[in-house]
Chains A and B, each alone.
Chain A
């Protein structure tokens, strides 16, 4: 059978090709076993890794209120805009549209859209109206994500105090930073599987944990007082063309801070545009040499130690030589016999040094310490500066010749306010604070410890001395109609910043620190003005702002006026013309 043999032979080639194909199929099968069964797990793990997406479910950030419940910082709905650059065909046109609706430079959007990635943020936390406008353009490859946005309704009101929140929702400064943990809450977690473009795969959720929203925070700040303080300070700084300024308004008895103002300021809604200088909460973060205000501490120490009484008379020469330095008065005079009270009201440097010498370095430092000027005030605010006060063992021969009148040491306005408050409130040192309550955790007990600085008696005597500063001495400008005011002016030279020892010529910090009503103070106020031009004295530059803020506080807090008698107001034992200008000028020359 030739045909049959022939067929068998021909079938050989067919069988050969068939066998080759089957071998190839077998090869594929072997390979499948290898990659699916043997190495499968490793590949599966890699696939899972590239897919797993851990999403944070954002917690709603708590709001910040002032003591009367006015919102200072709130969180509102917003959108985050992102792009999948691969899907954006018209990069230039899209960039232009983005710049038009969202603001910012076209260039910035363009570079982002040209990135070789599957996901780029274009703008985070965009207000809803803007996002809507963009959404209406229906741009290809542009997507929106629900988000939140921190809004400060008062814009620059208490801006440095409140601080601001970064793009990732973390408090970066101020109260936002201090109480970030409470405000932020706890974000939830969602682990899900995502596609290449970052979009979660339906049904691919593997883990979900709900977020806990942040707590609301009520501050001791009084929005109205804060506003007045900021306005008064801004006007003062402008009037005297000063570099900067700060105001502290604090409850003298509790340490609750009613206002903290700093100039220059900024809008926390657009914090990224702000000058870094404007971000500083100066009353807390900036130190300065307090100058004559410290004379109140020196005098109080002398009285408390029983070394003198307010009416003890000291003979004061025109100048005093300490070591290699000569102490001058701001306004040259002859030899006088002044009481301790008069030393303070006239802000005599020589007198203060005399008192300091009575106390000695140890005694002087002891009371700086007792008045809290050698430590941080422990205010609940980030970035408080540490006072710079030399320890007695580090004092030079001339230290006793300047520390008693407030040069050669540096403290913050808040630390000073705390010391002055101790005189006003009967002798105890409070802990300044901005947190009033946490309405969402009522069981949390907030404690602000106090400690005694001086005796009640000494405090009462010092109040009389400081009242006299306003009625008869350098602080007349601080008087408030209908209320007695106690306080102390300060006109301090600024240390040179160019590395040379000594003081910068013509650069002063003018301040007024005081409280009212003097006999039962509701508020202690410290106003400092940095580098005023045209006038340098605390009584001239800072006292009027003090008066204005003090008057507002009295009216706002509903404290009834107690008219001082006419006699009191005019019973100056010196010519008013002299005292008005005889403000202290601290000599460090």
Chain B
């Protein structure tokens, strides 16, 4: 999983450069402007990932230091999100017709990106508490409902339908994973769908986007323009692609080539081979993330890893579907790959949380039991090992026989998280 993340991020850096260099050169005279910014954010993001993976979050009735109490952290993250969103509404910077950015010391931040993580952290904690029986059913529903509802409303108000939808889907995934009653799920899904329909009808541009999705060719020069240009980019790529850096569509035909539609540029430059590879890597990431979740030590970890992975996976799917004309355009970046500092940093932070879950799993009784199994050779899965995963060289020290285990079909990073790996 970690490899797929690093691969995607590095790849994203290359693609951001490729997709943005033309416009940067034309507008700013510096073709590497976005590359440099994205690289800085990538470093920040990797640090965030490292930090998040070290967080020892757990749900406990015993009193814990605040930074380790999942509920406290969830509330804190949620509170920060709401504060950020309110700040955006009050003093945000408007770009592309939406108020989503907060300028802080010359750096543009998108609190709505942070809000996604905040919601997942909070809801995972609340649901875990509910599962433990520490929170009544209706209490949980009410808390989850109003707290995510507030964030959702604030984000919608920016307006940022795409992020709002991914928050909703992320929370919904958490509800599913937490084995909430099927009827309730259906109700939530139904209400969400209804709200979505209403939101589409309220704003003309959403309606336009929907119509453009249904038939982009009816107005290929205006409303259907993005989809059509995106399809042309994919088509131009064919099977083998036109070659890295040689996209033609990025020459101002395809808007948002380095952000929302970067996948189209991938398709054009690297062809079907490249675009399928990206899909495959994302699938690998999602599988890895869920393996961590399934093999995790606590209910909270299980929800956290599943929710975070689901959130990122859903965003990737929404973005890819929009770019390929399978869904209306929503303006969600492709995780790891698209340009966007807040998004990249937060996504990597999320990955860090999942890595943290994996780390805790290593120390959990099941994992310990697995390690003690006599037929197994001594593993390198020492407690600190998960953190070392971020250092690439460490992976090579894994004994050769480990690779033949039942987790061998998985990316290396996931093997230790594989619940059955040790039980074979």
A21 in complex: contacting residue of B26, B231, B249, B314, CB < 8 Å = B314
Q: How far is the CA of A47 from the CA of B247 in the complex (A)?
A: 11
- Is residue A29 contacting chain B, with contact meaning CB distance below 8 A? yes
B242-255 Cβ-contact flags toward A at 8 Å (1 or 0): 00000011011100
Contact B317 A36 (CB under 8 A): no
Q: Which residues of A contact B253 (CB under 8 A)?
A: 47, 50-51, 195-196
Q: Which residues of A contact B248 (CB under 8 A)?
A: 47, 51, 193, 201, 204
List 17 interface pairs A-B (beta carbons < 8 Å), by A numbering: A11-B294, A14-B306, A15-B290, A17-B290, A21-B286, A28-B320, A31-B325, A36-B238, A36-B239, A36-B267, A40-B239, A44-B232, A44-B235, A44-B238, A195-B251, A196-B251, A201-B251
B270-293 Cβ-contact flags toward A at 8 Å (1 or 0): 011001100110110011001001
B179 in complex: contacting residue of A10, A36, A195, CB < 8 Å = A10
Q: How far is the CA of A35 from the CA of B251 in the complex (A)?
A: 21
Q: How far is the CA of A16 from the CA of B173 in the complex (A)?
A: 10
A43 in complex: contacting residue of B26, B231, B280, B302, CB < 8 Å = B231
Contact B234 A17 (CB under 8 A): no
Closest 7 CB pairs of A and B: A43-B235, A195-B251, A196-B252, A47-B232, A36-B272, A18-B290, A40-B235
Q: Which residues of A contact B317 (CB under 8 A)?
A: 21, 24-25, 28
Q: Using A18-B290, A195-B251 as known contacts, list a sample of 6 further A-B pairs with CB atoms less than 8 Å apart, ordered by residue number in A.
A: A15-B294, A27-B321, A29-B279, A35-B235, A43-B235, A193-B248
Least CB distance, A89 to chain B, in whole angstroms: 14
Contact A14 B294 (CB under 8 A): yes
- Is residue B351 contacting chain A, with contact meaning CB distance below 8 A? no
Least CB distance, A118 to chain B, in whole angstroms: 9
Q: How far is the CA of A27 from the CA of B286 in the complex (A)?
A: 15
Q: How far is the CA of A41 from the CA of B335 in the complex (A)?
A: 29
Contact B235 A46 (CB under 8 A): yes
Chain A contributes a number of interface residues (CB within 8 A of B) equal to 41
Report the nearest A residue to B254, measured CB to CB. A196
Least CB distance, A143 to chain B, in whole angstroms: 12
Contact A36 B302 (CB under 8 A): no
Least CB distance, B21 to chain A, in whole angstroms: 11
Least CB distance, B32 to chain A, in whole angstroms: 16
A32 with B279, Cβ < 8 A, contacts A25-B286, A201-B251 known = yes
Contact A22 B294 (CB under 8 A): no
Q: How far is the CA of A10 from the CA of B299 in the complex (A)?
A: 10
B residues touching A (Cβ–Cβ < 8 Å)? Answer: 22, 26, 173, 176-179, 231-239, 248-249, 251-253, 267, 271-272, 275-276, 279-280, 282-283, 286-287, 290, 293-294, 302, 306, 310, 313-314, 317, 320-321, 324-326
A14 with B177, Cβ < 8 A, contacts A25-B282, A25-B283 known = yes
Overall SS of chain A's interface: helix
A199-227 Cβ-contact flags toward B at 8 Å (1 or 0): 10100100000000000000000000000
Contact B176 A13 (CB under 8 A): yes
Contact B234 A36 (CB under 8 A): yes
Least CB distance, A10 to chain B, in whole angstroms: 7
Q: How far is the CA of A194 from the CA of B253 in the complex (A)?
A: 10
Q: Which residues of B contact A14 (CB under 8 A)?
A: 177, 290, 293-294, 302, 306
Contact A18 B286 (CB under 8 A): yes
Q: Which residues of A contact B235 (CB under 8 A)?
A: 35-36, 39-44, 46-47
A residues touching B (Cβ–Cβ < 8 Å)? Answer: 7, 10-11, 13-18, 21-22, 24-25, 27-29, 31-33, 35-37, 39-44, 46-48, 50-51, 193-197, 199, 201, 204
Contact B279 A40 (CB under 8 A): no
Q: Which residues of A contact B302 (CB under 8 A)?
A: 10, 14
Q: Which residues of A contact B236 (CB under 8 A)?
A: 40, 43-44, 47-48
A13 with B179, Cβ < 8 A, contacts A35-B235, A40-B239 known = yes
Q: How far is the CA of A43 from the CA of B249 in the complex (A)?
A: 12
Contact A22 B276 (CB under 8 A): no
Contact A13 B177 (CB under 8 A): yes
Q: How far is the CA of A41 from the CA of B238 in the complex (A)?
A: 7
Q: How far is the CA of A39 from the CA of B235 in the complex (A)?
A: 7
Q: How far is the CA of A50 from the CA of B220 in the complex (A)?
A: 12
Q: How far is the CA of A47 from the CA of B306 in the complex (A)?
A: 41
Least CB distance, B238 to chain A, in whole angstroms: 5
Q: How far is the CA of A237 from the CA of B173 in the complex (A)?
A: 96
Report the nearest B residue to A28, measured CB to CB. B320
Q: How far is the CA of A194 from the CA of B178 in the complex (A)?
A: 53
Q: How far is the CA of A204 from the CA of B251 in the complex (A)?
A: 11
Q: Which residues of A contact B293 (CB under 8 A)?
A: 14
Q: How far is the CA of A31 from the CA of B326 in the complex (A)?
A: 8
Report the nearest A residue to B175, measured CB to CB. A13
Least CB distance, A541 to chain B, in whole angstroms: 65
Q: Which residues of B contact A199 (CB under 8 A)?
A: 26
Contact B272 A27 (CB under 8 A): no
Report the nearest B residue to A195, measured CB to CB. B251
Contact B325 A35 (CB under 8 A): yes
A17 in complex: contacting residue of B22, B177, B321, CB < 8 Å = B177
Least CB distance, B422 to chain A, in whole angstroms: 14
Contact A40 B306 (CB under 8 A): no
Q: Which residues of B contact A195 (CB under 8 A)?
A: 22, 251-253
Contact A43 B279 (CB under 8 A): no
Report the nearest A residue to B178, measured CB to CB. A13
Q: How far is the CA of A7 from the CA of B302 in the complex (A)?
A: 10
Contact A32 B276 (CB under 8 A): yes
Q: How far is the CA of A201 from the CA of B325 in the complex (A)?
A: 27
Report the nearest B residue to A43, measured CB to CB. B235
Contact A47 B286 (CB under 8 A): no
Q: Which residues of B contact A15 (CB under 8 A)?
A: 290, 294
Contact A22 B286 (CB under 8 A): yes
Contact B234 A32 (CB under 8 A): yes
Report the nearest B residue to A27, measured CB to CB. B326
Least CB distance, A12 to chain B, in whole angstroms: 9
Q: How far is the CA of A24 from the CA of B249 in the complex (A)?
A: 26
A37 with B177, Cβ < 8 A, contacts A14-B293, A22-B287, A28-B324 known = no
Q: How far is the CA of A306 from the CA of B314 in the complex (A)?
A: 111
Q: Which residues of A contact B237 (CB under 8 A)?
A: 36, 40
A40 with B234, Cβ < 8 A, contacts A13-B179, A196-B253, A204-B248 known = yes
Q: How far is the CA of A47 from the CA of B249 in the complex (A)?
A: 8
A46 with B294, Cβ < 8 A, contacts A17-B310, A31-B324, A31-B326 known = no
